[in-house]
A and B are shown apart, each in its own frame.
Chain A
Amino acid sequence: MTETLLTIDKLTKAYPGVVANDSVSFEIKQGEVHALLGENGAGKSTLVKMIYGLVKPDSGVMTMNGAPFTPAEPRAARASGVAMVFQHFSLFDALDVAENIALGMENPPPMRDLAERIRSVSEEYGLPLDPYRTVGDLSAGERQRVEIIRCLLQDPKLLIMDEPTSVLTPQEVDILFETLRKLTAEGVAILYISHKLEEIRTLCDAATVLRLGKNVGTCIPAETSARDMAELMVGTELQTPKSAGADLGEVVLDISGLSMPSPSEFGTALKNLHMRLRAGEVLGIGGVAGNGQDEMLLALSGEVRVDTNALKMNGKAIGNLAPNARRALGLLTAPEERLGHAAAPDMSLTENALLSGNVRRGLSERGFLKWGKTRAFAEEIIEKFDVRTPGPDNAARSLSGGNLQKFVIGREVLQAPEVLVVNQPTWGVDALAAASIRQAILDLAAGGTAVIVISQDLDELMEVADNFAALNEGRLTEKRPTKGLSIDEIGLMMGGAHGMEAAHADA
């Protein structure tokens, strides 16, 4: 158990203008779950890409089982026993499980043998999976299984997992952890990338923390508090957002019987949603990705029209109104995808301020644009939300994810909404920016705005939301007060293990 599998010594990789990894060293032992912690841009991905042979280090050496390890390409890394489960699945929806797995193999065996092997491996590790099912029909958790089994078929010595639980319910996470423990018992080492600290504390034996490309510390997660680890990651003390705890007012948004067919082929239909939102309330909506979150935002923003009476704002039916008509009434939204949906990548920040701010900020008159006023609005967002950019003439795509997110949220917040709907407000955003965005949401609510926060980050929802509801296969649960809600209850609201429980019945 204690033998060293992979030693990383002074690995350095620089890209033009940024040192992604600055002489990073650590060791991974056999049979250990080693966490790699760090904010976005801390250099986790670059490091992992070097181990997986996707990127060549500028200097430094890696040693595997005592021999030098210099994978020139992923194939070489795989041959040495390194396997990786990516955060974004690379699966073809239209093919079945076995076909997808065969596509990733050097010399795929005949389909029938492969299906047999998939079955036996999946049962051995408690990941039941039918090799002949079409991937398009699988849940996110099951798709991840396909990726994991694809890796296990290579008999890996080191399994790299990039944010594996972001698509799972708490119950599904438990099943995954069972599997991982089984693997480590057989001596497989796991390099586990995540920013969910509680998870790391339960699962991992050791943790390496990266900040700005440097290894800033190694710790034993079970013995370190989540707060200490977070501060190690960020490098400063973290301010926990505080809610002023305003009294809830009248019902402002009334969703009653909202149904909507899926706007895209592999999307989710919304089925008969009911929810009442009061002024000053922060409602958190959880759920595993792909259970109707994006669709719910489209229905609320007005990008997809719904039944007129399914949505009422202050008693007025608005289901058939276009986004700008809803904005005029005070219903604002911020979609999840920053580039391409919430903002136009190649347009300047000034133009992006106009994108949703035209109606409420009066940025045009009889169709003619007031560029001066629009620019001033963009500058106001940049200043009040601490958006790091040389100025409003810069293209949206030149901003980092966190800064653009601050801009997108700031743009809506500064329009003084009566109801604000945000989808994944802190996805891919560094901890400091995330904290400031959450604080802005809470301040808004304290001022009497009703806010719906759709997020897959349960910790975030627990932190900001007064009430919690979950989306599961396009259905919305009743809302319940966040206080006193246990993780188990939340998991059940999110749909439990989606029928995956049976896996460890005999484990």
Chain B
Amino acid sequence: MLTLEKRPQPSKAFAYLTPLIAILATMFFGGLLFMALGKNPFESIRTIFWDPLFGEFAFYYRPQLFVKGGPLILIAIGLSLGFKAGIWNIGAEGQYIVGAICGAGAGLAFYPMEAWYIFPIMIIAGALGGWAWAMIPALLKVKFQTNEILVSLMLVYVADQLLASMSLGLLKNPEGQGFPGSRNLKDYPSAFNDEIITGTGMHWGVAAAFIAVIFAYVLLNRHMLGFSIRLTGEAPRAAKFSSVNPNRIILFCLGMSGALAGLAGMFEVSGPSGQVSIDFASGYGFTAIIVAFLGRLHPVGIFFAGLLLALTYIGGEMAQGNLGLPSAAIQLFQGMLLFFLLAVDLLTNYRIKLSRKEAV
């Protein structure tokens, strides 16, 4: 019989190995899934993981890695702070949407004026929008002990409705011949989040993601606030004993993850997407949860996990186009990654032992 035995110390080796094992297991079972759908599993896996980087059209897809990875990393960094403290913000998607609406709205308010300060104002507005949306579950949790998982998740659907209403109403392009959606910010230089270096996919949001990674690393490893966050997640009673005010941690973590998600939304709407439209939301806020865990809630890990997930996005799109794989299969594939990660994760703290049947 297999039994699990708790390790006296968490295994360092497994902490680093689990993401790799999870990726391999996902490739294997994903391959089986694609086979069951009547596709060649090797070709499918190659299309997803290899072709975007080294295939014929890699010159087009490689920059996409940053374009897709930037928002994922930015959101996941924020989420990881909360997750470390045991505060589960599941509604980053909503904060992302509200950040985009606020950022775009702030920019469009100045249209057609051109000025250098418009873009910074949009950044601030985007961050504030996401922050405010996250403050709703935060304050409700602090004041009434509501469950932040449910509240933040439900607010995603509210944000979805808000997005639809904005694209059809307040922010609708007056010159858009009745089509839903705002003006395209790509046509408004002061508000356009252009590539910093042309052809690399590096826009300001990607730069912000890099900064967030460094900021989170310093916070968690070198600062008392980061220590308090980790302590709250590891042992809440010890945190109280150590003089940590749990409410302050809740407000900080939810606020921070909301602000970063809002920033991601703002950079997306003013750059790659270009306009507030009904179909603006693309699930980054949810995929970022996978990114955060795949990266072991560690800033550097999240950076690589974000790029990997971006790869599955791009490769998934290619597989849809070239091989005719259904998009649900790609989502399933991403979900599998999280599933295997969490399963293999057990080995960090436990080891599997073969034993004769015996009650302990």
A residues adjacent to B (C-beta < 8 A): 54-56, 73, 301-303, 322-325, 327, 333, 335, 337, 339-347, 351, 354-356, 358, 364, 367-369, 371, 394-395, 397-398
Interface residues of B in 237-288 (CB under 8 A from A): 237-243, 245
- Listed by A's residue number, 20 A-B pairs whose Cβ atoms lie within 8 Å are A55-B359, A56-B358, A73-B359, A323-B243, A324-B243, A325-B243, A340-B237, A343-B235, A343-B238, A344-B231, A344-B235, A346-B10, A346-B234, A356-B241, A356-B242, A358-B242, A367-B224, A369-B227, A371-B222, A395-B10
Of chain A, the residue at the smallest CB distance from B219 is A367
CA distance A355 to B223 in the complex (A): 13
Beyond the given A327-B243, A355-B231, A364-B224, please list 19 additional residue pairs across the A-B interface where CB-CB is below 8 A: A73-B359, A303-B240, A303-B241, A322-B243, A322-B245, A323-B240, A323-B242, A335-B241, A341-B235, A341-B238, A344-B234, A344-B238, A344-B239, A354-B227, A355-B242, A358-B224, A367-B225, A368-B224, A397-B8
CA distance A347 to B10 in the complex (A): 10
CA distance A54 to B359 in the complex (A): 6
Partner of A55, one of B8, B234, B360: B360
- CB of A298 to closest CB in B, whole Å: 9
Query: Are A355 and B234 in contact, with the CB atoms below 8 A?
Result: no
- CB of A325 to closest CB in B, whole Å: 8
B145 at the interface (CB under 8 A from A): no
| Contacting residues, chain A, for B234 (C-beta < 8 A) | 344-347
| Contacting residues, chain A, for B8 (C-beta < 8 A) | 395, 397-398
CA distance A448 to B235 in the complex (A): 33
Of chain B, the residue at the smallest CB distance from A344 is B235
Q: Which 3 A-B pairs have the closest CB atoms?
A: A324-B243, A323-B243, A344-B235
B9 at the interface (CB under 8 A from A): yes
| Contacting residues, chain B, for A367 (C-beta < 8 A) | 223-225
- CB of B12 to closest CB in A, whole Å: 10
With A323-B241, A356-B241 already in contact, the answer to whether A345 and B235 are too (CB < 8 A) is: yes
Of chain B, the residue at the smallest CB distance from A345 is B235
CA distance A301 to B238 in the complex (A): 12
| Contacting residues, chain A, for B360 (C-beta < 8 A) | 54-55
- CB of A369 to closest CB in B, whole Å: 6
With A340-B237, A342-B238, A358-B224 already in contact, the answer to whether A347 and B231 are too (CB < 8 A) is: yes
- CB of A482 to closest CB in B, whole Å: 29
| Contacting residues, chain B, for A356 (C-beta < 8 A) | 241-242
B206-245 vs A, CB cutoff 8 Å, 1 = contact: the mask equals 0000000000000000111101001100110111111101
- CB of A381 to closest CB in B, whole Å: 16
- CB of A259 to closest CB in B, whole Å: 20
CA distance A347 to B9 in the complex (A): 10
CA distance A54 to B358 in the complex (A): 9
CA distance A42 to B8 in the complex (A): 20
Query: Are A342 and B10 in contact, with the CB atoms below 8 A?
Result: no
B residues adjacent to A (C-beta < 8 A): 8-10, 222-225, 227, 230-231, 234-235, 237-243, 245, 358-360
Of chain A, the residue at the smallest CB distance from B218 is A368
CA distance A191 to B255 in the complex (A): 58
CA distance A34 to B52 in the complex (A): 75
| Contacting residues, chain A, for B231 (C-beta < 8 A) | 344, 347, 351, 355
Query: Are A368 and B222 in contact, with the CB atoms below 8 A?
Result: yes
Q: Which of B10, B222, B224, B360 has most A Cβ within 10 Å?
A: B224
Query: Are A369 and B223 in contact, with the CB atoms below 8 A?
Result: yes
Of chain A, the residue at the smallest CB distance from B353 is A16
| Contacting residues, chain B, for A325 (C-beta < 8 A) | 243
- CB of B315 to closest CB in A, whole Å: 36
| Contacting residues, chain A, for B238 (C-beta < 8 A) | 340-344, 355
Of chain A, the residue at the smallest CB distance from B360 is A55
Of chain B, the residue at the smallest CB distance from A363 is B224
CA distance A398 to B6 in the complex (A): 11
With A342-B238, A347-B231 already in contact, the answer to whether A368 and B9 are too (CB < 8 A) is: no
- CB of A2 to closest CB in B, whole Å: 35
| Contacting residues, chain A, for B245 (C-beta < 8 A) | 322
| Contacting residues, chain B, for A369 (C-beta < 8 A) | 222-224, 227
CA distance A394 to B8 in the complex (A): 9
Query: Are B241 and A342 in contact, with the CB atoms below 8 A?
Result: yes
With A56-B358, A369-B222 already in contact, the answer to whether A341 and B243 are too (CB < 8 A) is: no
| Contacting residues, chain B, for A301 (C-beta < 8 A) | 241
CA distance A439 to B10 in the complex (A): 34
- CB of A355 to closest CB in B, whole Å: 5
| Contacting residues, chain B, for A56 (C-beta < 8 A) | 358
| Contacting residues, chain A, for B10 (C-beta < 8 A) | 346, 395
Q: Which of A324, A344, A347 has most B Cβ within 10 Å?
A: A344
CA distance A337 to B231 in the complex (A): 16
| Contacting residues, chain B, for A398 (C-beta < 8 A) | 8-9
Query: Are B9 and A395 in contact, with the CB atoms below 8 A?
Result: yes
CA distance A322 to B234 in the complex (A): 21
CA distance A368 to B224 in the complex (A): 6
- CB of A320 to closest CB in B, whole Å: 13
| Contacting residues, chain A, for B222 (C-beta < 8 A) | 368-369, 371
Query: Are B242 and A340 in contact, with the CB atoms below 8 A?
Result: no
Of chain B, the residue at the smallest CB distance from A364 is B224
- CB of B18 to closest CB in A, whole Å: 16
With A54-B359, A346-B10, A356-B242 already in contact, the answer to whether A341 and B224 are too (CB < 8 A) is: no
Query: Are B227 and A341 in contact, with the CB atoms below 8 A?
Result: no
CA distance A301 to B359 in the complex (A): 41
- CB of B225 to closest CB in A, whole Å: 6
- CB of B236 to closest CB in A, whole Å: 8
| Contacting residues, chain A, for B237 (C-beta < 8 A) | 337, 340-341
| Contacting residues, chain B, for A346 (C-beta < 8 A) | 10, 234
CA distance A325 to B358 in the complex (A): 51
- CB of B145 to closest CB in A, whole Å: 14
CA distance A358 to B360 in the complex (A): 41
- CB of A32 to closest CB in B, whole Å: 29
| Contacting residues, chain A, for B359 (C-beta < 8 A) | 54-55, 73
- CB of B210 to closest CB in A, whole Å: 21
CA distance A346 to B232 in the complex (A): 12
CA distance A327 to B243 in the complex (A): 10
- CB of B336 to closest CB in A, whole Å: 28
CA distance A327 to B242 in the complex (A): 10
CA distance A347 to B231 in the complex (A): 8
Of chain B, the residue at the smallest CB distance from A399 is B8
- CB of A224 to closest CB in B, whole Å: 35
With A56-B358, A73-B359, A367-B223 already in contact, the answer to whether A355 and B9 are too (CB < 8 A) is: no
| Contacting residues, chain A, for B227 (C-beta < 8 A) | 351, 354, 369
| Contacting residues, chain B, for A351 (C-beta < 8 A) | 227, 231
| Contacting residues, chain A, for B240 (C-beta < 8 A) | 303, 323
CA distance A339 to B238 in the complex (A): 8
CA distance A394 to B230 in the complex (A): 17
